Amino acid sequence: MLAGAQHNALDALLHAVLAGAVLPVRRLARRVPQRAQQFGGKDWKRAVATAVLAAALAASSITVGPAVLSPGARAALPALRVERSAALALSEEQALVQDVWREVSKQYVDGSFNGLGADGWKAKQSEALRGLAGKQGGMGEAYDAIREMLRALGDPYTRFLDPEQYDALVSNYARGDGAGIGVQLQLDPQTGTVVVLQAVAGGPAALGGVLPGDELLRVDGESVEGATAEVCAALIRGEAGSEVRLAVRHPGGGASGGGGVAELPLERARVSANAVEKGSLLLAGGKRAGLVRISAFTQETAAQLVRAVRDVSPGAEALVIDLRGNAGGYLPAGVEAARLFLPPNAKVVSEVRRDGVAEVFFSEGVGSETRLPLYLLVDGRTASASEVMAAALQDNRRATLVGPGRTFGKGRIQNVQRLVGGSGVSVTKARYVTPAGRDIHGVGLLPDVVSAACGAADSAAACMAGVRVSSTDVQSGAASPKAL
């Protein structure tokens, strides 16, 4: 089995970001144990590497570009080794099935195993082992059997990674210097496929014909079936100037319900995109509001947000932060962004494991960045790090959420474990809950003000039309959803 420090190195793999250099993780917040079993004394930086921020590794979205790996994880990553009885006489393929089953059994957040119970989950292992008995098809059959076994959990984030996928993920994260094509990818939890959330204007993907909504089928001729968004991102990244070929299925009406398949040769480049943009807008009654748009969370987002807020605040009577279409990114940045608007000791987020033990993360510092009434614009694509920020500010009654409906609902945390033979498994190990104790996974956040005029194509001004802005919003928030 892995030593604790080695295991934590795997746990510390973080989310790839669109334009983030490898920088030390800032000390963001204070961690306070909920129970005596908690480690105690860890500061936020260390906790980031081993707890809540592991959610970034297998979050619902990924941005193709330079990635982050903790210094301790850059060393060779040891494989999980499970003691086996010689009497079992398992084949190599069956042994891998057993390794994956045991690792999932140990870590998986749902102790009922999707309602199967311990016996039912054990039966899935037995079924996979029997199916491989006497087979001579090699490891490919084992990979298929493992993926079928994991499908029973009904969790698109708990996935098996073959050696090529795992190696691409780890080596690209370790280098941290690869170029991308300027896309944001997201795992569709309904279909289990990886789709393009957005393509950066002027980037290789956008110029080469990649469209929002495209389903990713192959990278350089290799199928990405069963791969996570992170693995696909790692396969796409490489040296600037080199070519990568994508096969995508465009959205639309094809014979099978999808659009046509396109083979697209693209040249990798270092795509620079400012994740934070600023401006202003007029509200009802002639009031002026500062406007900040956050398209993705990177390591630079918090610092960019501070500068933007300070630039747009003079003369403003409110502050509007637009998180529509923001599928997340670098989770620590979402936590730090929330902290900018919260007083010291405010609860930000909690991680809860299968045994019910919770690790609670608090803000610290000198207090709020601004006293202006705060409004967050959200939609169904607002996910992960964006939801962490939005939930922290909503539950602490610091911001009013405005949007057409619920946010995406990504509230699970994964760990990636290397296995003997070079493959790996991503296991959902914990759930995060909001300061008020809400589990938003699969449910999302309900805006305080529900506005049909706040879709992706609508302006921020349209979203805010009819929203009454008053200084009381800072203290009281909205007690119940209002519809416009």
Q: Are 177 and 238 in contact (CB under 8 A)?
A: no
**HSE-up of residue 449 (Cα within 13 Å, Cβ side):** 23
pLDDT band at 165 (very low <50, low <70, confident <90, very high): confident
pLDDT value of residue 88:
56
For the chain, helix (H) and strand (E) counts, in that order, are 13, 20
pLDDT value of residue 16:
32
Pairwise CA distance, residues 431 & 103, whole Å: 18
pLDDT value of residue 469:
85
Do the domains 179-267 and 276-411+427-483 sit in the same CATH topology, yes or no?
no
Instruction: Calculate the CA dihedral of residues 353, 113, 442, 59 and round it to 10 degrees.
Output: 60
Instruction: Calculate the CA dihedral of residues 251, 252, 253, 254 and round it to 10 degrees.
Output: -40
Kindly name the residue from 60, 61, 70, 384 that is annotated as catalytic: 384
pLDDT value of residue 370:
84
- What percent of the chain has a predicted confidence (pLDDT) above 90? 52
Task: Of 7-16, 162-171, 439-448, 463-472, give the lowest mean pLDDT range.
Answer: 7-16
Where do the domains of the chain lie?
A: 179-267, 276-411+427-483
Run of H or E including 470? none
Q: What is the pLDDT of residues 275-316, one digit of tens each?
A: 899 999 999 888 999 999 998 888 889 999 999 999 999 999
Pairwise CA distance, residues 197 & 184, whole Å: 5
Q: What is the pLDDT of residues 187-217, one digit of tens each?
A: 887 788 999 988 888 899 999 999 988 999 9
Q: Does the annotation count 410 as an active-site position?
A: yes
pLDDT band at 273 (very low <50, low <70, confident <90, very high): low
Q: Does the annotation count 124 as an active-site position?
A: no
pLDDT band at 175 (very low <50, low <70, confident <90, very high): low
> Phi and psi (nearest 5°) for 119?
-70, -40
| Best CA proximity match to 199, nearest among 311, 379, 292, 64 | 64
Other beta carbons within 10 angstroms of residue 358's beta carbon come to: 18
Kindly name the residue from 61, 99, 363, 410 that is annotated as catalytic: 410
Q: In the predicted model, is pLDDT for residue 371 greater than 70?
A: yes
| Best CA proximity match to 165, nearest among 216, 242, 223 | 223
- Residue in the structure block whose two tokens are 């084992």: 142
The one-character DSSP state at 41 is S
Residues with Cβ within 8 Å of 204's Cβ and at least 6 positions away in sequence, in order, are 181, 182, 266, 267, 268, 269, 271
Homologous superfamily assigned to 179-267: PDZ domain (2.30.42.10)
pLDDT value of residue 274:
74
CATH number listed for the domain at residues 276-411+427-483: 3.90.226.10
Kindly name the residue from 99, 155, 214, 395 that is annotated as catalytic: 395
Higher pLDDT, 420 or 17: 420
Q: Does the annotation count 482 as an active-site position?
A: no
